[in-house]
């Protein structure tokens, strides 16, 4: 209670911000999880105004606007480079605590008529002489050299220096064309005289290696050598191109690799070498371990980090941080064995007025037993955000007195309001259609004092098709003359707007109207997670810090059972599975849109968001594996794998935003969600295209800014101490003069 009182006092005394600053400068953060470099194409961003409103004021201020327009038709509001990790070049094994590197490269189709030919052009930094530590164990990303990128985009612009010296991996001497391996990685096969077809730098001949973690291509044709490294977890499907008796012409016989992060890789093999079969078999085996009854590479990866990421989130500690338990809310372990709801976490916060028997009855009336459970509570008004799944109303219009009373308990826990909002993420037509499947939505006649609002966010199938269209627009080449119309046709930003608008409506009801909100979609693990997490990000500045954002993802996405394995397809070769959808990618995109509007309110940069997305696919860490908390416990993920947060927290300085102001931690953010304030996150979606990359590695300037900021803060502290000492020294003399 004391902690909540302190927080309340801070929120009352501080401004509650509706900030709309200009777009934050692009950053290029070479970190141990991701390296982002490249040349910058022309772009412009218009600054928007900030509007602050104080919580103690009787009326809340309206926010300004944040808009970003680009003069570069080939990009969104800004142009960005791809992200990837660097490579270890020195002799000896990588130092402990340093993640492995993953380097991606672009490629061109064997068949130029293929529309989906995408590419990642990547290359690692390995200088001769003294060894340089590996930059990261990044998932599928692309990197270019930091040295002098020119506008003509010569081959040297997308290549990085690689030493020609022989290196050692542990006690074993490696050949010049044999890559250094990360802890737990094993070389499974090597094919020589393979040609990588890149749409940006042309065909490259070299050596293709396959390990149990990644695909590695190295070409010595250029100086510096060309490199491409891709974690196999990013592979969606593999197809053979050409046949032994049908292929005619150079580079017409090989394989094409389709990736989950909107890239394709094409390799041409010589038929007489008989190398394609070996490479294909190894790729199929280790890119799809779940389909071949093999463990994920995360279970063999044994890198050591300074921080233990698995301890970043503890459910009881997070609930206590929010001020629980209270007179109206209690913490229960009724689901400790996952018997009541197998997709929910073991620890819940529920209304104190509801007994355990009431919880069981409500679970029987909610889809998959996912009852309304507390996500966040306002420190002053006690208004809450609770999440659940749809009620099992059906075509006959079933009712549950227990469920109706339970919703009433949630409303009664907030003494400042006699109304509760039920935010249904679905379009109303879809909600009505779900009645035929036994689902449905709450009737305002049955749920007294409740108002149901539909947020019109489409389902996973619509989102998957929208991303597919976006891939065609961004890869491998960008049609500058029709960029805006092509982007509009994907409807990707329309969906981003709907999700952001829904989350903003929830945050406004809780903050401005002091009413509690119940959020659900169909099963409560896709759109529901998007809405609750985004609204909490707007309301609570803790979630805008680096450790706080990790807690937010662990809580709202991982513990509450977003089906990462099915939505991403980890280790599964069924690329046409209807359960796959970019739900989490869409959420991170929404976070970036907010970060762009409020560059001072986030402790982390967009590079951390890209690192998270890259490792969503990489299967290097155990964080995003499996579908629920229960499955991760059964697979002993916390004891047998490394957490992604170990990487991020151990290299926290690499992700820090120099523009961050800690004073914004107690501010509420109301982002603008109209289409003119949204733009494509081209630093992520267009990062493989060299023409979209920045000339200057901004991460270097950001580190300089952080250093200058630290020095200025120290100088301010010294001046304050000097002023205080001077006032103390002068006070007796001033008093005697007055007398």
Ranges of H-type helices in 422-491:
428-433, 460-474, 483-490
* Distance (Å, whole) CA 20 – CA 669: 9
Using the 8-state DSSP alphabet, how is residue 557 labeled? I
Most distant CA pair in the chain: distance in Å?
Answer: 109
Cα–Cα distances (Å) from 16 to 51, 62, 395, 667, in that order, read: 10, 11, 45, 4
Long-range contacts of 451-454 (CB under 8 A, 24+ apart): 451/419, 451/420, 451/421, 451/422, 452/421, 452/422, 452/424, 453/421, 453/422, 453/423, 453/424, 453/505, 454/424, 454/425, 454/426, 454/427, 454/428
Q: How many residues does the chain have?
A: 739
* Distance (Å, whole) CA 432 – CA 440: 6
Is 77 among the residues known to form the active site? no
Please list, in sequence order, all residues whose beta carbon lies within 8 angstroms of the beta carbon of residue 110, skipping any fewer than 6 positions away.
197, 241, 242, 251, 252, 254, 256, 266, 268
* Distance (Å, whole) CA 188 – CA 212: 7
For residue 66, count other CB atoms closer than 10 A to its CB: 27
* Distance (Å, whole) CA 137 – CA 141: 10
* Distance (Å, whole) CA 208 – CA 461: 36
For the record, the structure tokens of 5 come out as 């009182």
Which of 230, 283, 268, 269 lies closest to 122, judged by CA? 230
Bridge partners (DSSP) listed for residue 239: 256
φ/ψ of 535, rounded to 5, equals -65, -35
Cis bond upstream, residue 596 (ω within 30): no
Ranges of H-type helices in 517-642:
527-539, 546-552, 564, 583-597, 606-618, 629-634, 637-640
Which of 577, 565, 557, 560 lies closest to 464, judged by CA? 577
Which of 511, 346, 530 lies closest to 519, judged by CA? 530
Give the CA angle between residues 70, 73, 236 to the nearest 5°. Answer: 105
End-to-end CA separation in angstroms for the chain: 48
DSSP of 94-156, one letter per residue?
PPTT------BB----SSTT-TT----B------SSS--------SS-B---SS---TT--GG
Candidates 521, 590, 619, 686; catalytic one: 521
Using the 8-state DSSP alphabet, how is residue 8 labeled? H
**Exposure letters 125-155 (e unless 16+ CB within 10 A, then b):** bbeeeebbbbbbbbbbbbbbbbeebeeebeb
**Dihedral (CA of 141, 591, 375, 373) sign:** negative
For the record, the structure tokens of 408 come out as 């009433």
Q: Chain-centre distance of CA 228, in angstroms?
A: 23
* Distance (Å, whole) CA 379 – CA 665: 14
The residues that are catalytic are: 521
């Amino acid at each position: 209670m004391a902690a909540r009182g302190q927080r309340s006092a801070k929120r009352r005394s501080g401004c509650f911000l509706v900030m709309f600053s200009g777009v934050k400068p692009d950053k290029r953060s070479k970190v141990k999880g991701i390296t982002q470099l490249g040349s910058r194409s022309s772009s412009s961003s218009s600054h928007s105004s900030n509007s602050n409103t104080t919580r103690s004021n009787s009326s809340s201020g309206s926010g300004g606007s944040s808009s970003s327009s680009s003069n570069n038709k080939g990009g969104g509001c800004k142009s960005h480079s791809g992200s990837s990790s660097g490579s270890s070049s020195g002799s000896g094994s990588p130092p402990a605590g340093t993640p492995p590197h993953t380097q991606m490269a672009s490629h061109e189709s064997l068949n130029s008529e293929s529309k989906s030919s995408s590419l990642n052009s990547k290359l690692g930094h390995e200088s001769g002489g003294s060894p340089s530590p590996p930059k990261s164990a990044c998932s599928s990303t692309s990197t270019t050299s930091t040295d002098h990128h020119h506008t003509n985009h010569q081959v040297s612009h997308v290549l990085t220096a690689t030493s020609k010296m022989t290196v050692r991996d542990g006690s074993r001497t490696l050949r010049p064309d044999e890559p250094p391996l990360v802890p737990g990685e094993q070389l499974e096969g090597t094919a020589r005289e393979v040609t990588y077809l890149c749409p940006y730098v042309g065909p490259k001949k070299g050596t293709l290696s396959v390990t149990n973690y990644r695909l590695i291509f190295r070409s010595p044709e250029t100086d510096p050598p060309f490199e491409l490294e891709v974690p196999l977890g990013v592979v969606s499907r593999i197809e053979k191109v050409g046949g032994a008796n049908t292929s005619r012409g150079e580079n017409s016989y090989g394989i094409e690799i389709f990736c989950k992060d909107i890239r394709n890789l094409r390799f041409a093999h010589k038929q007489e070498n008989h190398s394609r079969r070996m490479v294909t078999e190894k790729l199929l085996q280790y890119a799809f371990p779940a389909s071949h009854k093999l463990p994920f590479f995360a279970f063999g990866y044994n890198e050591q980090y300074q921080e233990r990421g698995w301890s970043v989130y503890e459910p009881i500690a997070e609930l206590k941080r929010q001020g629980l338990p209270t007179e109206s809310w209690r913490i229960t372990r009724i689901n400790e064995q996952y018997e009541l709801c197998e997709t929910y976490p073991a620890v819940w916060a529920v209304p104190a007025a509801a007994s355990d028997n009431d919880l069981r009855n409500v679970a029987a009336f909610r889809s998959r037993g996912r009852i309304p459970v507390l996500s966040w509570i306002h420190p002053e008004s006690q208004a809450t955000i609770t999440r659940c799944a749809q009620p099992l109303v059906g075509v006959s219009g079933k009712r549950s007195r227990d469920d109706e009373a339970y919703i009433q308990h949630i409303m009664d826990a907030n003494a400042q309001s006699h109304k509760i909002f039920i935010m249904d993420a679905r379009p109303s037509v879809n909600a009505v259609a779900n009645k035929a499947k036994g689902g449905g939505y709450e009737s305002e006649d049955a749920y007294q004092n409740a108002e149901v609002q539909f947020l019109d966010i489409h389902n996973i199938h619509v989102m998957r098709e929208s991303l597919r269209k976006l891939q065609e627009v961004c890869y491998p080449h960008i049609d500058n003359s029709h960029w805006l119309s092509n982007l509009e046709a994907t409807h990707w930003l329309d969906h981003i707007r709907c999700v952001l608008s829904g989350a903003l409506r929830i945050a406004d009801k809780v903050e401005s109207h002091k009413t509690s909100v119940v959020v659900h979609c169909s099963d409560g693990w896709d759109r529901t997670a998007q809405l609750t997490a985004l609204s909490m990000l707007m309301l609570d500045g803790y979630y805008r810090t680096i450790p706080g954002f990790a807690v937010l993802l662990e809580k709202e996405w991982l513990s509450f059972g977003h089906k990462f394995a099915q939505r991403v397809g980890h280790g599964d070769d069924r690329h046409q599975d209807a359960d796959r959808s970019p739900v989490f990618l869409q959420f991170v995109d929404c976070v970036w849109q907010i970060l762009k509007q409020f560059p001072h309110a986030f402790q982390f940069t967009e590079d951390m968001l890209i690192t998270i997305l890259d490792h969503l696919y990489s299967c290097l860490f155990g964080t995003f594996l499996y579908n629920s908390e229960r499955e991760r416990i059964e697979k002993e993920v916390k004891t047998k794998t490394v957490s992604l947060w170990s990487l991020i927290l151990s290299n926290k300085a690499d992700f820090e935003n120099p523009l961050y102001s800690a004073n914004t931690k107690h501010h509420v953010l109301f982002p603008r969600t109209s289409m003119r304030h949204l733009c494509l996150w081209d630093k992520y979606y267009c990062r493989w295209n060299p023409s979209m990359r920045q000339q200057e590695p901004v991460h270097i300037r950001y580190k300089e800014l952080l250093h200058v900021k630290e020095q200025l803060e120290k100088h301010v502290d010294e001046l304050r101490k000097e002023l205080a000492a001077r006032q103390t020294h002068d006070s007796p003399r001033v008093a005697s003069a007055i007398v």
